Amino acid sequence: MTQNTQHRTYRYYDFIVVAFVTVLLCSNLIGAAKAAQMELPFFGTVVFGAGVLFFPISYLFGDILTEVYGYAHDRRAVWCGFGAIVFAAFMSMVVISMPTAPGDFNSALQGGLEIVFGNTWRIVLGSILAFWSGSLVNSYVLAKLKIFTQGRHLWVRTIGSTAVGELVDSGLFYVIAFYGIWPTEQVVHVAVAQYFLKTGWEVVATPLTYWVVAWLKRKEQEDHFDYHTNFTPFKLKV
The CATH number for 174's domain is 1.10.1760
Q: Is residue 133 included in any domain, yes or no?
A: yes
Q: Is residue 26 included in any domain, yes or no?
A: yes
Q: Is residue 111 included in any domain, yes or no?
A: yes
pLDDT tens readout for residues 72-118 = 999 999 999 999 999 999 999 999 999 999 999 999 999 988 888 88
Domain tally, the chain: 1
Supply the pLDDT for residue 5: 47
**Percent of the chain surpassing pLDDT 70:** 95
Q: Is residue 38 included in any domain, yes or no?
A: yes
Mean pLDDT lowest among 26-40, 77-91, 177-191: 26-40
Cα distances from 229 to residues 10, 34, 75, 222, in angstroms, run 19, 40, 11, 16
Supply the pLDDT for residue 1: 57
What is the model's pTM? Answer: 0.90
Q: Is residue 229 included in any domain, yes or no?
A: no
Report the alpha-carbon distance of residue 183 to residue 33 in Å, rounded. Answer: 19
Q: Is residue 232 included in any domain, yes or no?
A: no
Supply the pLDDT for residue 67: 98
Q: Is residue 127 included in any domain, yes or no?
A: yes
Q: Is residue 230 included in any domain, yes or no?
A: no
Among 45-49, 72-76, 187-191, top mean pLDDT goes to 72-76
Supply the pLDDT for residue 6: 53
Report the alpha-carbon distance of residue 197 to residue 46 in Å, rounded. Answer: 10
pLDDT tens readout for residues 115-149 = 888 877 888 899 999 999 999 999 999 999 999 99
Report the alpha-carbon distance of residue 234 to residue 219 in Å, rounded. Answer: 30
Burial 147-178, CB ≥16 within 10 A → b, else e = eeeeeeebeebbbbbbbbbbbbbbbbbbbbbb
What integer best gives the mean pLDDT of the chain? 90
* Domain around 145: 13-220
Report the alpha-carbon distance of residue 162 to residue 166 in Å, rounded. Answer: 6
